[in-house]
Structures are given as C-alpha cells and as structure tokens.
C-alpha cells in the first residue's frame, strides 16, 4: 500500500554542507498494518510522515501510495489525495470557537459532504470515540484526553485509508495515553492502517506490533513484534 523507496531528505539551511535527515530509507507498509516508528528527536520520524503527506519532497527517492508516486500528484489534486490520510497531532489542533461536533463536521464540510451526511456520520463517530455526551462542548471545556479523542474523530470522519498519529500521547497522562492507544487499535481493527510515531517506551513495548527504529536518518531496526530499543 505504502512504499518509501531509497528516500534521502537533506536541508541546506544556508550552510555549505547540507543536513541529511533521512538517508537511504526503504520501507513498505501493508494495508491494515499497525506500525510504530520510533527514534530520538531529530531521527527523521516527522519528516518521514510529511513526505507521505507530500508536505515535503524527497531530495532523492520516491514515495508511493497505492502505486502512485505522491510527489508527482498535481497540486490541485493533493487535497483529494490527503483525504485518504487522517492526521492526529500531539497538540490536538482543534478550532477553539467550535464545539466538538462542529470540529468534526468541519472536516466533512471541507470535503464537500452534504448536511445529511454530516448529521448522520458525526454522532456515530462521537459514539465510537466515547464522546457522545460531549458533542456541544468547546475545546476549553474538555480534558486533554477528550481533546485528543475529538482530534481522532475528526481524522477518521471521512473514512481515510490511513491514520498518521504523530506523538498523539505526548501531552497526556499515562491513563489517557493508554485510552488513546486503545482507540487507535480499535480503528486499526476496523480496517484502517495506523502509523504511530512516539517516544513512549511503555506503549511500544506493550503493543506487540511492528516497530521501525530510526537513528540519524537511517532505519536501524524493523521488527515484526518489536520493542523500544535505542
């Protein structure tokens, strides 16, 4: 489904010698897989995800999504491509003046969905993430865990093929962090590919899923039932 082929990503940053963030990275992600990408800050995790979203372009190599080179997609078509990928961020990125319901509905509106579809789908997704009773709550009225649940609901509302979760538990206490991971597992079991980037050693070690370890821009480990080893 997703294939990173010999990816190199370098930045010049106005210095004579470029900084290489990813170095000859080749990686295949199968449909419906739950993959964790680990590594210390600066290892290249976020850059890898941005390449998949076509927010960054590789210096060399190619990224394929369903056999399409994502960096050859015309800019006018990129929004349609990105609808196949839901993104969950560490800092939630909710719209503060919109309720939980409205934050989720906004993603559907942006995709051109009808009012009838919104009225049918948003309550179902709120139910899935355990927030049916928080539909009319604004972000400032929600806990950190509840905000992240709204963010996940927004990410899955248009039924993407892939969910990218970039440090989704970074701002949460351990109990809420586990609830978010359980929710991502549930979404994966329903047929969505999940790519999790995290520093959380305990979560990685308890998942028992595939773990890819990045170190200085290179893949140094790729274990089918991996642990957090740096």
State the DSSP string of 138-184.
Answer: -GGGS-HHHHHHHHHHHHHTT--SEEEEESTTTTS-HHHHHHHHHHH
| The pLDDT value given to residue 149 | 93
Between CA 10 and CA 58 the distance in angstroms is 8
CA dist 210 → 65, 71, 139, 174, 230 (Å): 19, 26, 33, 22, 15
Condensed to tens digits (0 to 9), the pLDDT of residues 203-222 reads 888 888 999 999 999 999 99
| The pLDDT value given to residue 11 | 87
Locate 10 and state its tokens. 């370098």
- Mean pLDDT over 70-87 rounds to 94
Residue 126 DSSP code: H
| The pLDDT value given to residue 230 | 65
pTM: 0.92
153, 103, 169, 161 alpha-carbon torsion, rounded to 10°: 40
Instruction: Spell 186-203 as b/e; 16+ CB within 10 A means b.
Output: ebbeeebbbbbbbbbeeb
- More confident site: 71 or 227: 71
21, 27, 30, 33 alpha-carbon torsion, rounded to 10°: -50
- More confident site: 171 or 74: 74
């Amino acid at each position: 489904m997703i294939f990173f082929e010999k990816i190199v990503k370098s930045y010049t940053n106005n210095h004579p010698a470029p900084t290489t963030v990813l170095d000859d990275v080749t990686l295949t992600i199968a449909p419906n897989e739950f993959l964790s990408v680990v590594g210390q800050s600066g290892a290249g995790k976020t850059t890898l995800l941005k390449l998949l979203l076509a927010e960054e372009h590789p210096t060399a190599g190619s990224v394929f999504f369903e056999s399409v080179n994502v960096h050859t997609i015309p800019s006018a078509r990129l929004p349609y491509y990105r609808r196949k990928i839901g993104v969950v961020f560490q800092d939630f990125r909710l719209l503060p003046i919109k309720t939980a319901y409205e934050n989720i509905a906004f993603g559907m509106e942006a995709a051109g969905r009808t009012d009838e579809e919104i009225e049918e789908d948003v309550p179902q997704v709120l139910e899935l993430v355990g927030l049916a009773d928080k539909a009319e709550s604004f972000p400032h009225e929600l806990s950190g865990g509840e905000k992240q649940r709204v963010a996940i609901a927004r990410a899955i509302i248009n039924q993407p093929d892939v969910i990218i979760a970039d440090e989704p538990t970074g701002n949460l206490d351990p109990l809420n962090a586990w609830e978010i991971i359980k929710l991502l597992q549930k979404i994966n079991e329903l047929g969505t590919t999940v790519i999790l980037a995290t520093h959380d050693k305990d979560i990685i070690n308890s998942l028992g899923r595939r773990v890819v370890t990045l170190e200085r821009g290179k893949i140094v480990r790729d274990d089918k039932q991996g642990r957090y080893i740096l």
